[in-house]
Chain A
Amino acid sequence: DQQVKQNSPSLSVQEGRISILNCDYTNSMFDYFLWYKKYPAEGPTFLISISSIKDKNEDGRFTVFLNKSAKHLSLHIVPSQPGDSAVYFCAASSFNFGNEKLTFGTGTRLTIIP
């Protein structure tokens, strides 16, 4: 039962343009949503998060949008840079007796074309 889904396994975007990565979820009890970036041979690096009570959070070139009614979130990167080429994981956070549990999507490989 995949509670967090990223339906696009890969995405190619021209340098300087906007990259949009999408994520869908099924559990309405998630408290926070996060995006992580992963380079080969490295662990996931936290990028940006959004509370379930917000609809937008922005940090520099990265903006995350949350549509709770559609159970959908997206990550916008603008302008895209070659260093943004990586695998991006969407993750959803839930809490159980004060302990956080992250559920990850399957990832989207983003390639920025110079």
Chain B
Amino acid sequence: DTEVTQTPKHLVMGMTNKKSLKCEQHMGHRAMYWYKQKAKKPPELMFVYSYEKLSINESVPSRFSPECPNSSLLNLHLHALQPEDSALYLCASSQDMGQGFQPQHFGDGTRLSIL
């Protein structure tokens, strides 16, 4: 069982829809991440939140809007997506880096299909 929970597991949406992906962890981790993974490709970093503040945005288009309402929750708001945005979206979390290196823990992802 994963300790990072992502909902929904699958999402199909049209290009004009607005939807949100949700990620939750209760491990007390203070860094949270969004990754995008296309078929047969490695995960690619999109955003990093550290202590609920956005610290890295890997030049992601504005149709993806992250939000971190509290230390346990991370959302990814989607609007006006394109068919090429269809992918597996993975959330990860990690411990405070002040305690030494800690690996990132991943959720099972949301498989997104844009019609």
Could you say which interface size class chain B belongs to?
Answer: 20 to 34
The residues in A between 72 and 103 inclusive whose CB is less than 8 angstroms from any CB of B are: 89, 93, 95-103
List of B residues within 8 angstroms of A96 by Cβ = 56
List of B residues within 8 angstroms of A41 by Cβ = 108
Q: Which residues of A are interface residues toward B (Cβ below 8 A)?
A: 4, 31-32, 34, 36, 41-46, 49, 51, 89, 93, 95-107
Beta-carbon contact of B107 and A46 below 8 Å: no
List of A residues within 8 angstroms of B44 by Cβ = 104
| Shortest distance from the beta carbon of A77 to any chain B beta carbon, whole Å | 18
Q: Pick the contact of A100 from B6, B41, B90, B94 — CB < 8 Å?
A: B94
Q: Pick the contact of B43 from A32, A99, A104 — CB < 8 Å?
A: A104
Q: Which residue of B lies closest to A45 (CB)?
A: B106
Q: Does B71 contact A (CB under 8 A)?
A: no
The residues in B between 35 and 91 inclusive whose CB is less than 8 angstroms from any CB of A are: 40-45, 48, 50, 55-56, 90
